[in-house]
Homo-oligomer: A and B are copies of this chain.
């Protein structure tokens, strides 16, 4: 990917986090990225193309910051790794805020835009499986379907909590507590399976 494209996609992620998919103006994107509108259409064809590529860009980036841990640090216990992975999405840093609000926007847009659905479903699946794998490390010997279900619930809950946080209804700390509680509940359930 050319440096210019990356630069545009970074700007798009920033802007979507700030104004939403609905508020994204191509001209504003051009200004934010320091390029012309013409160049954007040259690279991404149309508005939907911009959104599609931004979704892809965002989910790649999320994988990176989820996976990437300081190699110096001692490896975490499975339980801590699970918790940390999930709680990482509930932090008030620019990058997380960007990813979360862009993700929420794209999820909402996908309801009405079939073009976005496939990419979104794929990215979701990857995420669910990652969480399910972590759950499996905490509770080995658990049947795969139970792990998958718990992974789906935890990630769906996380999306719900993110939206409430971003839309101002729920304080960040509170959302984090709620998520921790859900992890407890799910692990307790798995233990009984």
Contacts and interface: CB of A to CB of B under 8 A. Distances in A.
Interface of A: 18-23, 101, 104-105, 107-112, 114, 117, 120-121, 124, 149-150, 152-153, 155-161, 163-164, 166-170, 177-178, 181-182, 184-186, 188-189, 192
Q: Copies of this chain, how many? A: 2
**Majority SS of interface residues in chain A?**
helix
Given A169-B124, A178-B149, A185-B186, A111 B156 contact: no
A124 B192 CA distance: 32
A112 B163 CA distance: 11
Contacts of A155: 160
Contacts of A114: 168
A109 B22 contact: yes
Contact of A107 (B110, B156, B163): B163
B167 A156 contact: no
Contact of A101 (B101, B104, B111, B188): B111
A192 B23 CA distance: 46
Contacts of A185: 153, 182, 185-186, 188-189
